[in-house]
Amino acid sequence: MPFPSVLNDDNLTAICSRFLLIFLQIDKLQGCLSRGDLEDQLKDLPHDLDEVYDRIISGIDKKYREDALKILQWLSFSIRPLELTEVAQVVGVVPDTDQGLRFEPSRIFTNPRSVLMICSSLVTETGGE
């Protein structure tokens, strides 16, 4: 599909989606360590973003999926970019039947970089913080 001559919100979203899909596909291919692995991966590349995200989320260890969802929610609705140390504390916010939410310090990731390991292709760090 060629690029449209007139850009609007709809086709800008489509263009950005295509670039994101390609970026995520290339990211997956870069993890291949042998020619055979690369050939297998090329046969199994996802065809759209929904399939990419399904695979990424399926690849998150089940015991961390709830934490990953919480992290993504906080990052999506934050009014400012969050530092990695702040995101690592997000998992300490837990539901409480009496108070609605409460902060549980023992759930905080001791290594903030754990956020990047758990959320792999879904979260990136910018600016070195």
- In the block, tokens 């754990």 appear at 114
Total number of domains in the chain: 2
53 and 80 together in one domain: no
Q: Which domain holds residue 34?
A: 9-58
- In the block, tokens 């990136």 appear at 124
pLDDT tens, position by position, for the chain (129 residues)?
555 555 566 666 777 777 777 877 787 788 889 999 988 888 888 888 788 888 888 888 999 999 999 999 999 999 999 999 999 999 999 888 888 888 999 999 999 999 999 987 788 888 754
Q: Is 0.75 topped by the overall pTM?
A: no
CA distance 26 to 121: 12
Exposure string for 49-82, b = 16+ CB within 10 A, e = fewer: eeebeeebeeebeeeeeebbebbeebbeeeeeeb
In a domain, 127, yes or no: no
